[in-house]
């Protein structure tokens, strides 16, 4: 009897070409499908809550698949962690409703971007932060973060995406957009209804432009309002970005 399975996993995205299966590329989705297929004895398709880009990390990515194998969920979790590379870990496995889809039924996602501000970046964190030790006006970064809260057209902060439907809306709702200094880290956190390709990295890029004195808070507001016919212009490297959580009703 077919069972719908919900999986929550974390991964270090450094050595992967993102989440989505691509020909000839090592990806998170492909690695998970290969492990599940070995357990099932036939190909298993996996759906994810969204596509993280090459080099992006996840603390709690959500995925789902359909299995015929009656293996108990705890045993399935253990089997997957034996088969998967050590930089991908499945933290939980549960039975789900037959129609559960991790992307289409998600109600909110939270991302975090981490910037290491000190002169020397320890080798043990270098894969998980953007190292920027140079002088900036951090207070402007913190102030500008709040600009993105609310419902806006984020076209200026999105990369072109060939998978978008023609004329698809780029309006998204951001419920919280905050930044804080945490020891040696400058951390940006954003929670919203959904995110466009490279959107979070571009939001942080806009904040960095403010902190460097190249843009003002009013410039960011104008970009959101469509009053400047350019994109944000500064995208941050993938390694500092984490998918923190995905929420469901």
Active site residue 53: yes
- Residue 79: which residues within 8 A CB-CB, separation 6 or more? 35, 39, 71
Burial class (CB in 10 A: 0-12, 13-18, 19+), 200: buried
Dihedral through CA 66, CA 81, CA 17, CA 192, nearest 10?
70
Residue written as tokens 């090592």?
26
Q: Which helix (H) or strand (E) holds 140?
A: helix 138-144
Per-residue buried b or exposed e for 30-48, using 16+ beta carbons within 10 Å of the residue's own CB: bbbbebbbebbeeebebeb
Token code pair at residue 225: 């309002």
**What is the rounded CA–CA span in Å between residue 18 and residue 204?**
20
Distance between terminal CA atoms of the chain? 26
Distance between CA atoms of residues 19 and 246, nearest Å: 15
Active-site residue identified among 12, 53, 184, 219:
53
Q: What is the spatial distance between Cα 55 and Cα 147, in angstroms, rounded to a whole number?
A: 27
How far apart are the C-alpha atoms of 135 and 117, rounded to whole Å?
9
| CB distance 220 to 210 below 8 Å | yes
Catalytic machinery residues: 53
């Amino acid at each position: 009897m077919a069972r719908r399975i919900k999986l929550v996993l974390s991964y270090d995205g450094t050595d992967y070409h993102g989440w989505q299966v691509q020909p000839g590329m090592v990806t998170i989705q492909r690695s998970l499908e290969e492990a599940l297929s070995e357990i099932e004895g036939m190909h298993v398709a996996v759906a994810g809550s969204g596509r993280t880009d090459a080099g992006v990390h996840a603390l709690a990515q959500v995925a789902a698949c359909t299995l015929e194998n009656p293996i108990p969920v705890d045993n399935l979790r253990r089997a997957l962690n034996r088969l998967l590379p050590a930089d991908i870990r499945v933290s939980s496995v549960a039975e789900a409703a037959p129609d559960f889809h991790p992307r289409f039924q998600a109600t909110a996602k939270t991302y975090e971007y981490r910037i290491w501000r000190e002169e020397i970046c320890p080798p043990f964190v270098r894969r998980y932060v953007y190292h920027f030790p140079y002088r900036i006006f951090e207070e402007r970064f913190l102030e500008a973060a709040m600009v993105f809260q609310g419902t806006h057209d984020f076209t200026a902060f999105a990369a072109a995406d060939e998978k978008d439907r023609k004329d698809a809306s780029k309006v998204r709702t951001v419920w919280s957009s905050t930044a804080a200094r945490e020891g040696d880290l400058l951390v940006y956190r954003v929670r919203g209804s959904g995110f466009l390709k490279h959107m979070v990295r571009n939001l942080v890029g806009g904040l960095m432009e403010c902190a460097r004195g190249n843009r003002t808070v009013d410039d960011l507001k104008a970009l959101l309002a469509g009053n400047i016919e350019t994109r944000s212009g500064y995208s941050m490297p993938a390694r500092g970005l984490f998918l923190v959580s995905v929420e469901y009703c």
